[in-house]
């Protein structure tokens, strides 16, 4: 008989029986995570108005008697996905808007456009500024601070890249004649609006804003916040002044804010005010799109091209050759040379 058949086996096993031992659970242990996530079919739709330190001001029940702005936070499942002014989102939780209430952003609706910039042209890390805008209002002062054509070129390239229609607004025309500056852009089919410090063309601007979502961009001190305060009374965006020594504007608006604009006919549109910047990096832009977008926005020559192919359908090298040959005049040559430098910096 072997020791396997020993009658004392039961006694030995009982000595090592651990069935009644209580095991303390790991305090850091987590339940297995499922890959199935809620669909949030009943999420309340909303529009992001502004972002402030991890909290979102969101407009819900837009264009209804129950329209209200509520405060929300980001749901964990969205991770580090950027949520910016202009985004359309889905919310759950307390969407009553009562004081102290907080809802959660759980869904991000696919964007139609996305305006971005980088720290500089060599930085591929992009910063998302605004979502779902279809127009860009480029605000430039005729003087104090002096207008910078190269900065406007950068705004135009960002608009081209995002699929946003640019509009050029020249402020402070009572301080200087903007004709020479505007002549640099006469080769482009740009809508141009001008105004003085104490006489803003509000009716003309509102007619352009109705039915659109328009993002404002511009150098610090050009008058963007003054314009927004005039278009939306009661907004009280901080207004800065230009340094008399350096000629530079001081940053006043520190956040991006979406506001609704109304006209006398009862129509409405949205304007998104952004902080003023002194540089606009384009490290995220595909250089291959720059010249094509420029050619697509160029005013057609009065003389038909010899090969019958419009400029917007030409190859990059053909665009350069034809513009340098004078097809878009002196302003076209200045613009193509500026864009070539931009493309070079992006490459």
What is the rounded CA–CA span in Å between residue 214 and residue 258? 9
Mean pLDDT, the chain, whole residue set? 86
Looking at residue 248, its pLDDT comes to 47
Residue-wise DSSP of 298-330:
BPPPSSPPTTS--GGGS-HHHHHHHHHTTTTHH
Looking at residue 37, its pLDDT comes to 66
DSSP code, position 4: G
Residues 12-47 pLDDT 10s:
555 666 666 676 766 666 665 666 667 788 899 999
In the chain, what's the furthest Cα-to-Cα distance?
116
Residue 123: is the preceding peptide bond cis (ω within 30°)? no
Looking at residue 201, its pLDDT comes to 96
Q: What are phi and psi of 115, to 5 degrees?
A: -90, 125
Q: Is 144 a residue whose pLDDT tops 50?
A: yes
CB 165 within 8 A of CB 159: yes
Looking at residue 17, its pLDDT comes to 64
Nearest to 259 by CA among 271, 275, 269, 268: 271
Give the pLDDT mean for 106-134.
86
Q: Is 66 a residue whose pLDDT tops 70?
A: yes
CB count in 10 Å sphere of residue 91: 23
Looking at residue 305, its pLDDT comes to 81
Residues 152-209 pLDDT 10s:
998 998 898 889 999 999 999 999 999 999 999 999 999 999 999 989 999 999 999 9
Dihedral sign for Cα atoms in the order 105, 88, 277, 235? negative
pTM, entire model: 0.82
Confidence of residue 250 (pLDDT cuts 50, 70, 90): very low
What is the rounded CA–CA span in Å between residue 156 and residue 246? 26
What is the rounded CA–CA span in Å between residue 68 and residue 122? 42
Give the SS3 label for residue 282: coil
Looking at residue 244, its pLDDT comes to 43
Looking at residue 95, its pLDDT comes to 94
């Amino acid at each position: 008989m072997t020791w396997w058949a020993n009658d004392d086996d039961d006694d030995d096993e009982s000595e090592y029986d651990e069935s009644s031992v209580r095991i303390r659970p790991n305090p850091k242990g987590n339940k297995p995570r499922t890959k199935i996530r809620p669909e949030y079919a009943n999420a309340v739709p909303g529009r992001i108005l502004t972002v402030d330190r991890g909290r979102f001001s969101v407009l819900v029940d837009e264009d209804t008697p129950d329209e209200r702005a509520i405060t929300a936070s980001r749901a964990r499942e969205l991770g580090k996905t950027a949520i910016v002014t202009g985004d359309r989102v889905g919310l759950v939780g307390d969407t009553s808007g009562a004081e102290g209430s907080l809802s959660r952003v759980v869904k991000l609706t696919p964007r139609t456009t996305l305006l971005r910039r980088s720290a500089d042209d060599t930085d591929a890390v992009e910063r998302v500024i605004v979502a779902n805008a279809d127009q860009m209002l480029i605000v430039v002062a005729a003087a104090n601070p002096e207008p910078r054509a190269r900065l406007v070129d950068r705004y135009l390239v960002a608009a081209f890249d995002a699929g946003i229609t640019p509009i050029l607004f020249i402020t402070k025309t009572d301080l200087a004649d903007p004709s020479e500056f505007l002549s640099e852009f006469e080769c482009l089919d740009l809508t141009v609006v001008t105004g003085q410090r104490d006489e803003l063309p509000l009716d003309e601007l509102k007619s352009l804003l109705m039915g659109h979502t328009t993002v404002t961009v511009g150098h610090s001190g050009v008058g963007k916040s003054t314009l927004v305060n005039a278009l939306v009374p009661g907004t009280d965006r901080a207004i800065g002044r230009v340094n008399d020594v350096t000629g530079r504007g001081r940053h006043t608006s520190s956040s991006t804010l979406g506001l609704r604009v109304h006209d006398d006919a009862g129509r409405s549109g949205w304007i998104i005010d952004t902080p003023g910047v002194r540089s606009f990096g384009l490290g995220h832009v595909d250089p291959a799109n720059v010249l094509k977008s420029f050619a697509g926005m160029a005013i057609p020559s009065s003389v038909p091209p010899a090969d019958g192919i419009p400029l917007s359908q030409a190859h990059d090298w053909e665009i350069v050759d034809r513009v340098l040959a004078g097809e878009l005049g002196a302003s076209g040559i200045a613009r193509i040379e500026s864009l070539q430098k931009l493309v070079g910096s992006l490459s």
